Structure 1
Amino acid sequence: MKLSIVDLSTVLPGETRHDAFLHSIEVAQLAEQLGFERVWVAEHHGSASIAGRAPEVLIATLAAHTSTIRLGSGSVLLNHYSPFKVAEVFCTLNELYPGRIDLGAGRATTGPVLDFALQQDREKQFRSDSNQQLAELVAWLENSFPEDHPFARSPLHTMRPLPQLHLLGSSTWSASAAAQLGLRYVFAGFINQQATPEIIQQYRDHFRPADGEAGIQQPEVRLAVHVVCADSEAEARRQIAPVHVMYRNLSRGNINAPILDPDSAVDALGGLPPLERYLPGSGIPPKFLAGTPEQVHDQLEALTRDVDARELIIQDLMTEHPARLHSYQLLAQML
């Protein structure tokens, strides 16, 4: 089973945003030592507790502090940006660090204010749709615009092989778009758990082999899941307490609440949160999968087999940095 990490650069209690980025560097270096496949960094805007908002900048920093591991975006929010500029940025990264760069593209709304702030043309209404941007991104990477297209006169000059293009999502749209263009597909199982098997199967059923070099010939599924591993079940429950509190705050509209340390989170919850268990055969991942190495191993093995994923991408929101690094060490040893 291949393992990777998506890192949010979480600002831990009592620390600064600078500290968060130093932790991201340490995570990438450890992941490389442990044999993880790749580390991706996310794009979140307007968050006091998540520092990762410019993946292209952080990717370059992580690449400069590592030597072999693949690095990329999980994801760059394509619906807000010029596909040409995104292609230029990631091709530049690939030219700096050949064979190590992933272009993970996705789409998201960041809220009405920041959606507007991210736009260049303020006279146009924001659209979350990104079909046109995705097709254009592929065409820029491959220089495959039709001869009569204006963009065909200005090809994107870059080196081969290209950065690996992945489409990330949690909806039927993302599955359909990845299938139609013959792209690698990463499903966010921690967002849309119940629909996981259905949407992944939709991608497989409708997959069309790509004509150009940005795509692939056979479907490739990667599954992103929220995982915490600890030496004991009690410690695993303690480590997932902060994310339980965070989601409770989000459900109440309190988006600016600080992320708590584990003990404060346990106090806020009135005790240790329960562990969810994966039901073998269901293909539906728990929202937060946690436990001892043996518990986590058995559940991830069954989940990977049931959805036929070639790789698991681990997300977590642990707020004790040493415990987070230890979780990765345990995962690497078991899987």
Structure 2
Amino acid sequence: MKTAAGFLYSVLDLSPILKGETAADSFRHSLKLAQQVEQWGYHRFWLAEHHNIPGVASAATSVVIGHIAGGTSSIRVGSGGIMLPNHAPLVIAEQFGTLESLYPGRIDLGLGRAPGGDQLTARALRRGLGSSGDTFPDDVRELQSYLGPTEPGQKVRAVPGQGLNVPLYLLGSSTFSAHLAAEMGLPFAFASHFAPEMLYQALDIYRSHFRPSAALAQPHVMVGVNVFAADTDEEATRLFSSLQQVFLNIIRGWPRELQPPVDDIDRLWNPVEESQVSRMTRCSAVGGPDSLRAQIQSLLDDTEADELIVTAHIYDQQARLRSFEIAAEVFKSLQGTTPSFTPNDSFNQ
């Protein structure tokens, strides 16, 4: 929860596959990043479920979470998120019950309702089981029942999982999950790092309709932000061009591996494409330390976020590490000391 001291800061990683590299390289890069940000004071390290995307290696999200948790010692590790309609809730309860048993007190389960890919891929994943975004609220409640205490007469249990109370977080890019998170009394993370349009409306809905629960006494807002930091504004802007190319290729229907930065991004797009990419990346902080500090402060003032969850598609891995290091220094300078966020004791975080 947010305190007078400030806010939490965390990482969202997609294990991006770089042009000329493999998924194995991506997993090594992700582990190195997790080990470094753990030292720099980041609160949690989340991985996202995406499918059939050439530039994303974290499709088997639970497996990669285990890899990261096994290579770190204190940072929380989890999903940002598991796309629950792709899975039977019991399977996810068993997977995260296993992770919680292996790494007790360190595992988060963030949940989304999108497919994490195109509709053809979603059909290949789901095989007609009937789950969809429409069944998401019921799926979340079913998942909760597998992770909570065993109820009298309960015939299906998650083993491991039952009674472990792995903390749940709802993710969204619209108002749907804001309403649901408020109703269920769960933390809410908004995907403003790629879909910022409904950010403020969703946060207002979540806060104004929040109902305290056994999981959470008061609202906890997490805001996604792209952060590209470097020693100079010019270098940060250059690094940012890799993410701009990601969205440009999505717009063109040609997703690719993460591309190296370019010195002149205007050579690659037309004005309509530039406008679309700028809209999708509006929640981004790009620059040297001073510029970054001003942009992050503005975002905190506008959203009153309890937690920033930072992502960065940076091609050069040393530059990527340096960006997260600079960002950590900026976050610490803005908050003074790091607050803690612990859901109610019954939630067993």
Query: Is TM (by shorter chain) over 0.5?
Result: yes
What code does the residue aligned with 1:106 have? Answer: G
| Structure-1 residue corresponding to 2:138 | 132
Task: Say whether the 8 Å CA contact 2:97–2:166 is kept in structure 1.
Answer: yes
| Structure-2 residue corresponding to 1:280 | none
| Structure-1 residue corresponding to 2:188 | 185
CA shift in 2, pair 1:169/1:3, >3 Å? same
Show CA shifts across 1:74-100 (max 9, x none).
Answer: 100101111111111111101110110
Moved more, 32-41 or 108-117: 108-117
Deviation at 1:161, TM superposition (A): 5.6
The 2-side partners of 1:170 and 1:162 are apart by 26
CA shift in 2, pair 1:202/1:285, >3 Å? farther
| Structure-2 residue corresponding to 1:306 | 302
Q: Map 1:30-41 to 2 at 5 A.
A: 30-41=36-47
Aligned mate of 2:119, from 102, 112, 116: 112
Deviation at 1:128, TM superposition (A): 2.6
The 1-side partners of 2:283 and 2:242 are apart by 14
Pair 1:243 & 2:243 matched: yes
CA shift in 2, pair 1:121/1:39, >3 Å? same
Pair 1:66 & 2:72 matched: yes
Task: Say whether the 8 Å CA contact 1:143–1:156 is kept in structure 2.
Answer: no
The 1-side partners of 2:299 and 2:75 are apart by 25
Deviation at 1:198, TM superposition (A): 1.3
Aligned mate of 2:211, from 204, 208, 213: 208
CA shift in 2, pair 1:265/1:53, >3 Å? farther
Instruction: Give the secondary structure class of the aligned counterpart of 2:90.
Output: helix
Instruction: Give the secondary structure class of the aligned counterpart of 2:62.
Output: helix
The 2-side partners of 1:285 and 1:7 are apart by 16
The 2-side partners of 1:166 and 1:328 are apart by 23
Aligned mate of 2:101, from 72, 95, 120: 95
| Structure-2 residue corresponding to 1:328 | 324
Alpha-carbon RMSD: 2.4
Deviation at 1:285, TM superposition (A): 8.4
Deviation at 1:248, TM superposition (A): 1.6
Deviation at 1:192, TM superposition (A): 2.7
| Structure-2 residue corresponding to 1:277 | none
- Give the TM-score, by structure 1 length: 0.87
CA shift in 2, pair 1:132/1:27, >3 Å? same
Deviation at 1:314, TM superposition (A): 0.3
Instruction: Give the secondary structure class of the aligned counterpart of 1:75.
Output: strand
Structure 2: unaligned runs, 5 residues or longer: 1-6, 275-279, 332-349
| Structure-2 residue corresponding to 1:316 | 312
Structure 1: unaligned runs, 5 residues or longer: 275-283
Deviation at 1:268, TM superposition (A): 4.5
| Structure-1 residue corresponding to 2:343 | none
| Structure-1 residue corresponding to 2:197 | 194
Q: Map 1:139-158 to 2 at 5 A.
A: 139-143=145-149, 152-156=154-158, 158=161
The 1-side partners of 2:28 and 2:207 are apart by 39
Show CA shifts across 1:242-298 (max 9, x none).
Answer: 11122122112223x34320137748538xxx9xxxxxxxxx983332111111112
Pair 1:43 & 2:49 matched: yes
The 2-side partners of 1:154 and 1:171 are apart by 33
Q: Give the count of matched residue pairs.
A: 315
Task: Say whether the 8 Å CA contact 1:99–1:161 is kept in structure 2.
Answer: no
CA shift in 2, pair 1:85/1:265, >3 Å? farther
The 2-side partners of 1:222 and 1:246 are apart by 23
The 1-side partners of 2:304 and 2:148 are apart by 29
Instruction: Give the secondary structure class of the aligned counterpart of 1:263.
Output: coil
